[in-house]
Chain A
């Protein structure tokens, strides 16, 4: 145990997260004074260069925000524009859109669970070192990621930055035979997905319970993925069009990503797997629900370390959903429906793997984007992450600086932060000065 009264800890570049950021923790007289998540990845100006572009372009432009969750960006974008233009492409196209999004969930969650997060629990510096002792597990993770990518390649044209999504639907849709081949691959991924839930549920989880208001989409009758109504654990419920009335974005000096808070509340809230699960666990499909129960998850989950179990359960969920969609597939009569531009404002929300992603577009009568707004999940979660870390560090001040820094990095990875999306992320700095 150290007996210094003031400490300053720094993680200069947080590993196994998407993008670049740092963490500064200041401890004075055994009290955590400040936790600052510095996001120093440069601003990316997506909202600015969407201005002046045609209403047909945001799904392709915003897909470039992120190589891990491009479908989330495409989805919230076309939703906003279709809502504005008064178009609903029909359930056939809607089903294929949910299927594509399932692919992204499977690939993104498999990457995070196996390559980024599991090494923390098993005591390895990274996935390569873990693979030497846990070869079967890493192979399992890779097979799941392959299954997710197979969906993305078939429906999106390619696994990274899909090119087959458009306002109004798709450029082309697969025939039943192509989906039948995919179904066999997804069915064979179910067993490894269930093994994943069982594997991660046996990890040791540090005690941490967060009390934030939780924010997620809900869609009664099914687990929310590509659409839904925004709800919070505090009882708020609103549509995408009211998002900016309830969520206030603010600039903070230490981050190139805007912080977000709930209006008329004490502010901090959390979006992502914990929120999604807590508000929607009753809508999980049967295999995922049974796996969650067997893994010890109750109706809600407020320990960020256990988010790895939720992600594993959501892989099962996405596989079940995808298989069901393929089973009921009837090729839509057309790959897309016509969308005529109109002047106005449109809003879209969807559940990116890391949480709710909101977009808003203002169009003129020729369909030119006058203004765009993108509110990604990681930027919404920054304040909650800082608050959770303060609580986490306060309970672990007896650790030396090196151990505490390592623990903080692990704690940050609970949120699977996508800094590149948010910059609009980790060096760690703990000040016990």
Chain B
């Protein structure tokens, strides 16, 4: 460890399943906009891959689309993950197959293996259309800038760590 602050943004989703591509779309928009040194990763949500992406980081910001049922499309959520056993992010409606393993599994496995990031923030957007094909629905597209801004706010340089000197980024 060099002592350098390390952050990663992980966009989860499939850009060929309409609004499921919201996470990757945010990562695309962050290219050139995210502070230097922030790693940008697109993920299919596979737990080992998620864990690899955030191991050793001070901050991991995960962006994903959700389908909660009753919430209006385009609604934004922000969840800070600390404490608990990770079940707060169990994959709602997921099946038992490996296709259903996701963020909740990655968090629980990371806790057991002491691989959690220093902080984990999850941004989610309620999707309208998870059908086949590229492109976001109008409802999700409309809030994408707001979502990018919210992620950027989480990526602001942290206050100097105790005992270290502030550095220019």
Contact = CB atoms under 8 A, between A and B. Distances in A.
Interface residues of B, number: 16
Given A116-B98, A145-B48, 14 more contacts: A13-B95, A14-B97, A15-B96, A16-B96, A16-B98, A17-B98, A18-B98, A20-B95, A20-B97, A111-B98, A131-B109, A142-B51, A142-B52, A419-B97
Q: Give the top 6 A-B pairs by smallest Cβ distance, nearest first.
A: A15-B96, A131-B112, A13-B96, A128-B108, A132-B112, A128-B109
Interface in A109-164: 111, 115-116, 127-128, 131-132, 135, 138-139, 142, 145-146, 159-160
A344 interface: no
A116 B46 CA distance: 13
Interface string B94-127: 0111110000010011001100000000000000
18 contacts: A16-B98, A17-B97, A18-B99, A19-B99, A20-B99, A67-B44, A111-B48, A111-B98, A116-B98, A128-B108, A132-B112, A135-B112, A138-B109, A139-B113, A142-B48, A145-B48, A146-B52, A160-B46
B48 A19 contact: no
Contacts of B52: 142, 146
Nearest to B107: A128
B155 to A, nearest CB: 24
Contacts of B97: 13-20, 419, 425-426
A380 interface: no
Contacts of B49: 159
State the main secondary structure of chain B at its contact with A.
helix
A420 interface: yes
Contacts of B109: 127-128, 131, 138
Contacts of A138: 109, 112-113
A416 to B, nearest CB: 10
Interface in B74-90: none
Contacts of A132: 112
Interface of B: 44, 46, 48-49, 51-52, 95-99, 105, 108-109, 112-113
Contacts of B96: 13-16
B99 A160 contact: no
Interface size range on A against B: 20 to 34
A87 B98 CA distance: 38
Interface of A: 13-20, 67, 111, 115-116, 127-128, 131-132, 135, 138-139, 142, 145-146, 159-160, 419-420, 425-426
A151 B125 CA distance: 34
Contact of B44 (A131, A145, A160): A160
Contacts of B46: 67, 160
Nearest to B86: A128
A116 B52 CA distance: 18
Contacts of B112: 128, 131-132, 135, 138
Contacts of A131: 109, 112-113
Contacts of A145: 48
Contacts of A20: 95, 97, 99
B4 to A, nearest CB: 22
A20 B97 CA distance: 6
B98 A128 contact: no
Nearest to A146: B52
B130 to A, nearest CB: 15
Contacts of B98: 16-18, 111, 115-116
